[in-house]
A and B are shown apart, each in its own frame.
Chain A
Amino acid sequence: DVKVTQSSRYLVKRTGEKVFLECVQDMDHENMFWYRQDPGLGLRLIYFSYDVKMKEKGDIPEGYSVSREKKERFSLILESASTNQTSMYLCASRVGYGYTFGSGTRLTVV
């Protein structure tokens, strides 16, 4: 089974901090994704990557950037965290028609 591992389950950061959320997959998938999940809004795509060093904006990229230096790792970066970025962040990888999601990182910005 594919494993998608998010390094932190819970994070608490201060406003203005630079925050890194890490995601690693173990199956050599080319496509990786970062979603944000908020109550009543479902999941919204922030960024995705279809290959190493390749990235595309999703539906809500403002305030975020990403890095994909190696195929297995896709990082989400909050350049200057704000309270409205408090949310659950889910990473996913894809091959063919199958998506696998990580267990999520619940980020609180205070």
Chain B
Amino acid sequence: ELKVEQNPLFLSMQEGKNYTIYCNYSTTSDRLYWYRQDPGKSLESLFVLLSNGAVKQEGRLMASLDTKARLSTLHITAAVHDLSATYFCAVDMGNYKLTFGKGTLLTVNP
């Protein structure tokens, strides 16, 4: 059974600081997704990583995938308040199932 573990589950940051959210998964896969969710809202797709070594960047967020280590990271650079949200990683095993981590609640403080 695939397990997807995110850490930390809670992250309080100061504006301007950098930090990384980690996503480990237990079974080989080369498809990993990152989503953002604002309170009371649906999931917004951030990144789709489809191969080992994939790196994608959008604004202050950068995601990477190491399929050998079964690890993806979401790096936040110079955080701003607008990045406050819950971030989920999800792994696609290719069997129509997307398995999610528990989410990381990010709070960026002024």
Contacts and interface: CB of A to CB of B under 8 A. Distances in A.
Interface stretch (B12-20, B58-66, B67-75, B93-101): B93-101
A98 B88 contact: no
B98 A33 contact: yes
A56 interface: yes
Contacts of A99: 33, 45, 98
Contact residues on A (Cβ < 8 Å of other chain), bracket:
20 to 34
Contacts of A50: 96
Contact count band on B: 20 to 34
Contacts, number: 48
Given A31-B96, A40-B102, A42-B101, 7 more contacts: A35-B100, A45-B97, A48-B96, A50-B96, A59-B99, A98-B48, A99-B98
Interface of A: 31, 33, 35, 40-45, 48, 50, 56, 58-59, 90, 92, 94, 97-104
Contacts of A35: 100
Contacts of A43: 43, 88, 90, 100
Contact of A97 (B31, B41, B103): B31
